[in-house]
């Protein structure tokens, strides 16, 4: 469990050092994106339209924040992660096409994402689910917001952050997938546990 402090944009070499269970703190820019934003990003890629933000070496955060507008400035009130599994449909393409290096979410992601992390050198990290107030503490400013027509939770929020974390590496660039390993181990115990409960 080594700890790393990384600044955006993040290089391929920095990603290759990371292993599952390592802890990362990110300083710089992170961009929120949930289902609708991922879909739209890929539509833009298909149509060869440029995105409102460059994600090369960037960080995507699965998050729909609580925000408040004060004197024309957005303030982030709470901003923990959302369940990443919903983005499994799109993330491998986002990594491949847009050059994203770190995905932040919670709950784990599947094989397609793990393969893309290995092939294109990216990591999937988790921020503690539900820790919305803790996350907001590390967000210093809303640099901008795009695609607000998708609604506040689904919009593309561009946050300036300082030591955003602790983020735990759950998929590394060798393709190891920590949460999937935990679930495979749990599945192996299923029959034994059901037998103990008297279920044949």
Partner 1 sequence: MIILYMKPGYNTIIDGCFGLNNDISYLRDKIVEAVAEGLRRAVTILPPDVKEALEKAYRKEENEAAKAQLKAILDNVEIARKTGRPICQDTGLIIYYVKAGSKFPLLNELEKLLIEATKKATKEVPLRPNAVDPFTGRNSGDNTGRYVPFIHWEIVDGDELEISVLPKGGGSEAVAVLNMPPPGKGLAGVKETVIEAVLAAGAKPCPPTIVGIGIGGGADIATILAKKASSLRKIGSENPDPKIAELERELYEAINELGIGAMGLGGKHSVLAVHIDYAYRHPATYPVAIVFQCWAARRAFIHIKPDGSYSITQ
Q: Is 33 in the site for partner 1 (CB under 8 A)?
A: no
Q: How far is the CB of 81 from partner 1 (least distance, A)?
A: 9
Can you say whether the dihedral through the CA atoms of 107, 112, 115, 120 is positive or negative?
negative
Q: Are the C-beta atoms of residues 50 and 41 closer than 8 Å to each other?
A: no
Q: Is 95 in the site for partner 1 (CB under 8 A)?
A: no
Per CB under 8 A, the list member of 151, 162, 163, 174 interacting with partner 1 is 151
Q: Is 2 in the site for partner 1 (CB under 8 A)?
A: no
Q: Are the C-beta atoms of residues 85 and 38 closer than 8 Å to each other?
A: no
Q: Which residues contact 82 (CB under 8 A, 6 or more apart)?
A: 34, 62, 63, 64, 105, 106
Give the number of residues in contact with partner 1, rule: CB under 8 A. 54
Q: Rounded CA gap, 16 and 18, in Å?
A: 6
Q: How far is the CB of 10 from partner 1 (least distance, A)?
A: 22
Q: Rounded CA gap, 81 and 70, in Å?
A: 23
- Interhelix angle 88-98/111-120, nearest 10 degrees: 10
DSSP annotation of 50 reads P
Which of 6, 71, 34, 44 shows the shortest CA–CA distance to 157? 34
Q: Is 110 in the site for partner 1 (CB under 8 A)?
A: no
Per CB under 8 A, the list member of 43, 130, 163, 174 interacting with partner 1 is 130
Q: Is 199 in the site for partner 1 (CB under 8 A)?
A: yes
Active-site annotation holder among 6, 30, 31, 38: 38
Residue 186's alpha-carbon distances to 39, 112, 164, 181, 189, in angstroms, are: 32, 21, 31, 9, 5
Instruction: Closer to partner 1 by CB, 1 or 47: give it.
Output: 1
Instruction: Closer to partner 1 by CB, 23 or 142: give it.
Output: 23
Per CB under 8 A, the list member of 102, 168, 171, 173 interacting with partner 1 is 168
Instruction: Closer to partner 1 by CB, 13 or 199: give it.
Output: 199
Per the annotation, the verdict on 62 as an active-site residue is: no
- Which residues sit at the interface with partner 1, rule CB under 8 A? 1, 21, 23, 36, 63-68, 77-80, 82-83, 85, 106-108, 126, 128-137, 151-154, 166, 168, 170, 178-179, 182-183, 185-187, 189-190, 193-194, 196-200
């Amino acid at each position: 469990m080594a700890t790393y402090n990384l600044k955006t944009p993040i290089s391929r070499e920095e990603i290759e050092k990371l292993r599952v269970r390592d802890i990362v703190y990110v300083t710089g820019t992170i961009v929120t994106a949930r289902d609708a934003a991922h879909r739209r990003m890929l539509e833009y890629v298909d149509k060869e339209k440029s995105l409102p933000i460059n994600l090369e070496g960037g960080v995507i955060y699965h998050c729909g924040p609580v925000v408040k507008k004060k004197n024309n400035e957005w303030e982030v009130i709470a901003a923990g992660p959302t369940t990443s599994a919903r983005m499994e449909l799109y993330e491998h393409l986002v990594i491949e096409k847009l050059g994203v290096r770190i995905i932040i979410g919670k709950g784990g992601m599947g094989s397609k994402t793990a393969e893309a992390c290995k092939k294109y050198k990216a990591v999937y990290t988790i921020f503690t689910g539900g820790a919305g107030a803790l996350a907001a503490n590390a967000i210093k400013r809303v640099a901008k917001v795009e695609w607000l027509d998708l609604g506040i939770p689904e919009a593309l929020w561009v946050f300036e952050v300082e030591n955003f974390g602790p983020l735990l590496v759950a998929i590394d660039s060798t393709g190891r997938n920590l949460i999937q390993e935990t679930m495979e181990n749990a599945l192996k115990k299923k029959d034994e546990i059901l037998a103990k409960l008297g279920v044949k």
